[in-house]
Structure 1
Amino acid sequence: MNNSLKGILLITKTFIFFSVMVVLFPTCKKDDKSKEFVLRIRLADEPDCLHPVISQHGLATQLESLIMPPLFEYDVVSLDPLSILLENLSQPEEVNDSTYVYNYRIHKEAVWDDGRPVVSSDILFTLKSSLNPFIKNKTYAGFFKNIRDAKVDETDPKSIQIFVNKSYMLHREMSGNYCIYPEHIYDSKSILKGFSLQDLLTKDSASLGAEKWNQLKLYAEEYQSNDFCRNKITGCGPYKLASWQSGSKIILEKKKSWWGDSLSKNYPLLTAKPDRIEYWILPDETSALLELEKGNIDIMSDITPRNYVDLQKKGNSQLQFATPSILQYNFVEINHRRASLSEENVRKALCHLIDIQKFIQEHYYNLAVSVKSPVHPSRNYFNSELQDYDFNPGKSISILKESGWKDSDNDGTLDKVIKNKKEKLAFQLLVTNRELSKKFALLFQEEAKKVGITIDIVTKETTAFMSELNSLNFDLAMSGARQSPSPWDPYQAWSSKNTNSGGFNKSGYSSSFVDSLIFAIRTASNESNRTTAYKLLQKDLHEHVAQIFLFAPKERIAYNKRLNIETGSRRPGYYEGMVKLK
């Protein structure tokens, strides 16, 4: 075969080879760019429902805001309020000595899942539905009592005026820092159109009449139904609920041609980078860590400190780490309704059985700081003069002895007659399945036993745990509270008006002095007066041991290095919509 023919055959073979490659892999580069961005996030627990007014699980908030966002929200990093559904986040205008008005206009592009426009009557409906007296969760209603009125613009359905109590510290938040509901979906029979906002703000059963009062009751039953909690979930956010596989996954899919994409350059919280977000419900942390290391999940937060430190030491080149400060504190809830726990000296004795600094060092690997009140140490109104109760079991013994507690029947547990009834220092301590909660409980139990206090540890799944707290069926409970970047309003957690079953004052601790401080905080005319009241409230809660205040943890986040994430103080420490591929 001559050289010329060999050359022709070589060229032919080469051509055929590349032709086959093109046929087999015609769009390899294009596929890389157009590949769907699926973000997989681990959830340690399962939300109770996705219905902002109804849900009581902190994890629900994380998902709800992606489906039905508020008018505005706080940036994860800067904590500045940023518009989401509004053209402008305007400043309030003074109406009179007691009232501000916020004039808002919704983006003309904003639409619900079915294409219907988001209008001002949807905001009005959100307020009215939350104020229904038959709604079990009173959180929204408690806040919205500071709204004076809301007026829709009959000539412009996108415009609304929201009138708020000028003296209330969270008047800005009252104007729109809450998820907005589509009226035509959540009130398809237009029942609440028959009620004005003033009806729901000011009238009771007597003034409304039996017929209307019953209408509110019937409406609340449907509004709070499981159907709206898990099935009929809809909003104007970038994502919709694609599926909820109980105990396994919750999947959100980005809407095709979502209206916010064209505005995200000027409104950062409209950013929605992932095409699909899969929340993997993995209560077992060991299993979750394996999935993270294998690359099956992308983000895992709230990792047990020991596992977090060990994971860093492994040097997995596919992972990155972040420990932003988060607005949360952990505590032991005390039920002051129990005869023995109503005694301040008993509560103080319990405090002296906890070596909190040692616990932070040995079990949190210094990824937390101790707290002496419900106020996070990063707040400028944190009372830094308060001191930890020192670890001193001997002092616990002395306090209890001076208070008349003794082991009269030699069973190892101290007792005392209170109101003609023999009471024992024997308590149940509720905990969830979280490793650190159980670890703390065991250490607490061990020290308590040494001084004559019996603690029975009762472990419950999260939903059952919350049910016990809500029904006030507990003695002690390991708990935690997440807080908003907005100024802390202590009304829900500490007002005497919220101590009944279903209220947020689970401890039952209250006093006229505390109520007066809460009022002063909410209505202070300047920050100096508010700070003074804040610090006095912290001092009272600390000195009377309203709760056993423990520590404020740092978040522990591990995520795949393919991701670009900005972390910050607002839980869960990042915003899913802004997570992007590198």
Structure 2
Amino acid sequence: MRVLLTALGVGLLLAGCGQGGSGESDSFPVKIKPEILDDGTGVLRKGNGAEPGTLDPHKAQGVPAANILRDIYEGLISEEPDGTIEPGGAESWEISEDRKTYTFKLREDAVWSNGEPVRAEDYAYGLRRTVDPATGSVYASILAPIENAEAIIAGDKAPDTLGVTAVDEFTLEIRLKAPTPYFLGLLTHSTTYPLYRPAVEEHGDQFTQPGNAVTNGAYLLKEWVVASEIVLEANPDYWDADNVGVGRVEYYPIENTSSELKRYQAGELDWTGSVPIPQLETVRTHVPDQLKTKPSLSNYYYGLNVTREPFRDSPELRQALSMAIDREVIVEKITRGNEIPAYQWVPPVVSDYQGARLAYADMPQEQRNARARELYAEAGYGEDNPLTVEIRYNTLEAHKKIASVIASMWQNVLGVDVELVNEEWKVFLQNVSERRVTEVFRAGWVGDYDDPYTFLELLHSDFGINGAGYSNPEYDALLNKASRMPGGEQRQSVLREAEAMLLADHPVIPVFFGTSKTLIKPYVKGYVGNPMSHYYSKDFRIEPADDSPAQ
């Protein structure tokens, strides 16, 4: 679909997103009736966005897969409902004086779903598997702080040289190349999860399927019907089974947020993955107690494929497109969920960090537009030679709405001819990763831990999901330097310098910093918002009121 919107068209589009626009209604019925199992525990039914591409913890990408993996596996470190770290598979740990060696004492009562003990070697195997080039993990670089990880990922050393050792059956030692202040938080990521090696070797890629999967988390994978549902059941052998509050979890892959909302209203869902923009005001009006919003450790951005034309050798064009986007309009008229216009790369909710900002952050939009037109002309484009470009986005109404508005801004300010390309999640991820056909793509990043590095690393030339293809040796050197520094202002200064360099090069266009928006039924207890939106189903419980009529 090629987008050629006039200024009037933009106005109509924005009007359709405001209060009283499409989707508004005087009534908003919501069925309040939980599903209770025979043993008295409840069922948690969750909308989960796109269909996961895989449930291999070392290969999976995206939030939908991460939500499920968090339930069926357990890493060394887990998280409390507010996002602070707590013991997981490791009941305790010690850190050496030089902060380069971590020694974890595992729980001796933790078992795999087949009854076998979870041993230190299972964690070591998982970590080695992630960095092994044969695995093809796009997140392998997240383990770069571990001794020899980078050399293994590059193919220069064998996986068994990774700085991890099973000291004994229940003691794991991890050696780092340098002090890493965020390391414990990193260990909540699925790339660090253990695996039961015999299951992987017996079933190959099918070890993730029901009946084959041997897991160590609070839930067991019981059913996976593609494009329909993924069903988990509480693991009776989980070491903390007595405190698991939900007996069954049902994940539904629903990419259409309006359809998800209707299923929530009909009583088929207890938890939505998001809230459709056109109905946000209706939700706020009718069920404000069910709407949960929280500033999130995330950014929403547009990536520019700098490995091919038209962006490869044109920083002027990249900056022109960034300056022509009116971020205030997008957050005030489109998303309308307390998002923050983004003029830096690292979200402001990251602790103890004051980031760099785009040079034109404080410039009025009129002046930005004028400068954007000058840069556009310097790049060789104009009325007689307009830029023609594609914006790719994965299926979601909000992404389409934002892409349409940005396309119209680019056309009205610069005269750009934009085609919108909507792709299913797996196809979208593959195209962004391969960078063969992408020009502009929408993206978002939720931090894996509370540190600027989790955002800045995304654009490191060696990072597996650097969709923009950005490669700047000076930027990489700054990140490599910061990765070897202890916490403190000196490290923050190096990271800030890297962020300023990234913003000046414009391989990505920050649009806004996000807020999580979800609907949760009142009988779902235990919700505490956290900025990373990391939720473990075991922390919730279903407590219906004695009288729970539909609203």
TM more than 0.5: yes
CA 138–437 in structure 1, closer or farther in 2 if over 3 Å, else same:
closer
Instruction: Work out the CA distance in 2 between the residues paired with 1:327 and 1:385.
Output: 17
- 2:199/2:207 contact within 8 Å kept: no
The letter of the residue matching 2:516 is E
- 2:76/2:90 contact within 8 Å kept: yes
CA shift, 1:181, in A, is 1.0
CA 244–110 in structure 1, closer or farther in 2 if over 3 Å, else same:
same
- Map 1:241-260 onto structure 2 (within 5 A): 241-260=221-240
**Which residue does the alignment assign to 2:171?**
159
- The higher relative CO (CA closer than 8 Å, separation ≥ 6) is in 2
**Which residue does the alignment assign to 1:391?**
365
**Which residue does the alignment assign to 1:496?**
461
CA shift, 1:226, in A, is 4.5
**Which residue does the alignment assign to 2:425?**
462
- Whether 1:240 and 2:234 are equivalent positions in the alignment is no
- Whether 1:405 and 2:370 are equivalent positions in the alignment is no
Instruction: Work out the CA distance in 2 between the residues paired with 1:281 and 1:374.
Output: 30
CA shift, 1:70, in A, is 0.5
CA shift, 1:57, in A, is 2.4
- 1:331/1:479 contact within 8 Å kept: yes
CA 74–376 in structure 1, closer or farther in 2 if over 3 Å, else same:
farther
- 1:165/1:171 contact within 8 Å kept: no
- Map 1:255-404 onto structure 2 (within 5 A): 255-261=235-241, 271-315=243-287, 320-342=290-312, 343-379=314-350, 380-383=352-355, 386=358, 388=361, 391-392=365-366, 393-404=369-380
Instruction: Work out the CA distance in 2 between the residues paired with 1:527 and 1:152.
Output: 32
Instruction: Work out the CA distance in 1 between the residues paired with 2:458 and 2:476.
Output: 11
Unaligned runs of 5+ in 2: 1-35, 148-161, 544-551
- Whether 1:449 and 2:399 are equivalent positions in the alignment is no
Instruction: Work out the CA distance in 2 between the residues paired with 1:294 and 1:174.
Output: 39
SS at match of 1:104: strand
**Which residue does the alignment assign to 2:71?**
66
Aligned with residue 500 of structure 2, among 525, 534, 539: 539
The letter of the residue matching 1:493 is L
- Whether 1:39 and 2:44 are equivalent positions in the alignment is yes
- 1:121/1:183 contact within 8 Å kept: no
- 1:68/1:234 contact within 8 Å kept: no
- Whether 1:432 and 2:387 are equivalent positions in the alignment is no
The letter of the residue matching 1:71 is L
The letter of the residue matching 1:395 is R
SS at match of 2:51: coil
- Map 1:166-181 onto structure 2 (within 5 A): 166-173=178-185, 178-181=192-195
SS at match of 2:94: coil
Instruction: Work out the CA distance in 2 between the residues paired with 1:175 and 1:358.
Output: 38
CA 127–390 in structure 1, closer or farther in 2 if over 3 Å, else same:
same
SS at match of 2:123: helix
**Which residue does the alignment assign to 1:137?**
137
SS at match of 1:38: strand
CA 341–184 in structure 1, closer or farther in 2 if over 3 Å, else same:
same
- 1:381/1:534 contact within 8 Å kept: no
- Whether 1:185 and 2:183 are equivalent positions in the alignment is no
Unaligned runs of 5+ in 1: 1-30, 189-221, 263-270, 415-424
The letter of the residue matching 1:402 is E
CA 542–175 in structure 1, closer or farther in 2 if over 3 Å, else same:
closer
1:264-300 deviation per Cα after TM superposition (whole angstroms, max 9, x unaligned): xxxxxxx421100011222222222122122221111
CA shift, 1:145, in A, is 6.0
- 1:324/1:573 contact within 8 Å kept: no
The letter of the residue matching 1:181 is L
TM-score by length of 1: 0.77
**Which residue does the alignment assign to 1:516?**
477
SS at match of 1:127: helix
Aligned with residue 92 of structure 1, among 69, 72, 95: 95
Instruction: Work out the CA distance in 1 between the residues paired with 2:432 and 2:210.
Output: 23
CA shift, 1:229, in A, is 5.9
Instruction: Work out the CA distance in 2 between the residues paired with 1:530 and 1:138.
Output: 26
Instruction: Work out the CA distance in 2 between the residues paired with 1:104 and 1:84.
Output: 11
The letter of the residue matching 1:57 is G
Rg: which structure is higher? 1
1:43-80 deviation per Cα after TM superposition (whole angstroms, max 9, x unaligned): 12111111110112221111112111111123331x32
CA shift, 1:371, in A, is 1.7
- 2:95/2:103 contact within 8 Å kept: yes
- 1:306/1:364 contact within 8 Å kept: no
CA 45–230 in structure 1, closer or farther in 2 if over 3 Å, else same:
farther
Instruction: Work out the CA distance in 1 between the residues paired with 2:183 and 2:287.
Output: 48
Instruction: Say how many residue pairs are matched.
Output: 483
TM-score by length of 2: 0.81
- 1:47/1:59 contact within 8 Å kept: yes
Question: Percent of pairs identical after alignment?
Answer: 17
- Whether 1:548 and 2:509 are equivalent positions in the alignment is yes
The letter of the residue matching 2:392 is L
SS at match of 2:324: coil
- 1:164/1:171 contact within 8 Å kept: no
The letter of the residue matching 2:96 is E
When structure 1 is superposed on structure 2, of 49-58 and 326-335 the one drifting more is 49-58
Instruction: Work out the CA distance in 2 between the residues paired with 1:227 and 1:307.
Output: 41
CA shift, 1:433, in A, is 2.1
Aligned with residue 56 of structure 1, among 56, 61, 75: 61
1:307-330 deviation per Cα after TM superposition (whole angstroms, max 9, x unaligned): 2321221248xx622111211110
